[in-house]
């Protein structure tokens, strides 16, 4: 992990169109495979929502800030293709930008203990 102390977390909830979950999941996993070796990428966790079967969440940790992520990561060509595919796959996307302030049980963030 980089020595950069700034990190940003994207917590994204996708409300997937009925019957499109597997297709969406394949598209999401392909995108993750594109960025998983990026030097600023730290971790991603993809989860199904137990109470809402058509919802899926991704929790991504990146080195840098919200602004640096938007400037450096969002314009990458593989993201454009992914973004264009979302129209037919999801009804809604809810994005929360987070800054870590505490962590227990792992050492994924640069938060002092």
Q: Structural domain boundaries of the chain? A: 7-98
> Residues 50-59: what's their mean pLDDT?
96
Give the three-class secondary structure for 29. Answer: helix
Fold of 7-98: Alpha-Beta Plaits (3.30.70)
Per-residue pLDDT tens digits for 4-33: 469 999 999 999 999 999 999 999 999 999
Write down the pTM of the prediction. Answer: 0.89
State how far the alpha carbon of 99 is from the alpha carbons of 13, 33, 66, 102, 111, in Å. 17, 24, 9, 9, 10
How far apart CA 79 and CA 73 sit, in angstroms, is 8
Percentage of the residues of the chain whose pLDDT score is greater than 90: 79
């Amino acid at each position: 992990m980089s020595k950069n102390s700034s990190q940003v977390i994207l917590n994204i909830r996708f409300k997937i169109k009925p019957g499109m979950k597997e297709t969406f999941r394949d598209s999401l996993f392909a995108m993750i495979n594109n960025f998983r070796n990026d030097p600023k990428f730290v971790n991603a966790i993809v989860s199904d929502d137990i109470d809402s079967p058509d919802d899926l969440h991704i929790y991504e940790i990146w080195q840098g800030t919200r602004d640096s992520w938007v400037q450096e990561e969002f314009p990458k060509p593989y993201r454009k293709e992914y973004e264009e595919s979302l129209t037919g796959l999801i009804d809604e996307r809810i994005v929360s930008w987070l800054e870590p302030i505490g962590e227990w049980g792992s050492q994924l963030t640069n938060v002092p203990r």
